[in-house]
Structure 1
């Protein structure tokens, strides 16, 4: 994703609290997954380093260093992790819901601008995971990790009511 953010505006990653905040998010989230009846089957046998890998992925997506690409193989590697998993819409939605609960628990920002961009990526990313996990996935190519930036959602405007009412 592209955009032209003001260079003085912090990246989404910085706004979220940096990699430490995303590590807290993925640690809390993935600690719950094995106990969730909807998601446990998807993550059965999950590698102990999975929360760290997802934190690095999210950090790169939200404007941080390309550490996931450098150490894990970037977008092609991530896409391959979903092949043949047969993720359902119920599992996709549950993943988003539990991740948002974890975001609240670990104190990620709740301002409308951050949450709009955060949820926008979660929706897009999980729908791509659904596509890659299905019966006829697209080719896994050398696409770059998508980078989410501010300005991809309309800016929040407070409700302006006519004071004459």
Structure 2
């Protein structure tokens, strides 16, 4: 059976999705605030690599950039931001349409569910301080059936 990574177009498909999402969030007055301090010049490449690994693709993110602890720490210590999360998810859904991944209802739903889960669970778990994030976290894996334990 094809992985979610493969169904989403592999590395190239997820890079297109990451680029479309990034453009959407930078145009959103609420979500763009998260990037007001700046961002890595290879943000979309790194984001695509992270999503690829989470969705059943190669381990490029873990091999080259860091582990889940690294990612979660980048997103921690900023207080609660439910409105920003909600709008980031809406931008993701729009980005799916932008790159043609919304046409397959099953794939669209799995990708939406993954992004919504990651945004509201792992990326927003440590509101108070990035120092609260434990060491050694592994990138969660997501399949057609959701989170893989």
TM > 0.5 between the two? yes
User: Secondary structure in 2 aligned to 1:117?
Assistant: helix
1:33 & 1:97 partners in 2: Cα distance?
Answer: 9
Gaps of 5+ in 1: 1-8, 154-165
Gaps of 5+ in 2: none
Let me know the Cα RMSD of the aligned residues: 1.8
TM-score (norm 1): 0.79
Alignment check: 8 A CA contact 1:42 1:85 kept: no
Q: In proportion to residue count, which structure has more strand?
A: 2
Alignment check: 8 A CA contact 2:18 2:44 kept: yes
Q: Could you give the per-residue CA deviations for residues 57-84 of structure 1, whole angstroms, max 9, x where no partner exists?
A: 0000000011100111121111111122
- Structure 1 residue 149: Cα displacement: 1.2
> Between Structure 1 and Structure 2, whose CA radius of gyration is higher?
1
Q: In proportion to residue count, which structure has more helix?
A: 2
Partner of 1:110: 103
Runs of 4+ in 1 over 3 A off after TM superposition: 136-139
Q: How does 1:142-153 map to 2 (within 5 A)?
A: 142-152=136-146
Residue 43, structure 1, aligned to residue 32, structure 2: no
- Structure 1 residue 140: Cα displacement: 2.1
Alignment check: 8 A CA contact 1:117 1:150 kept: yes
User: Secondary structure in 1 aligned to 2:23?
Assistant: helix
TM-score (norm 2): 0.87
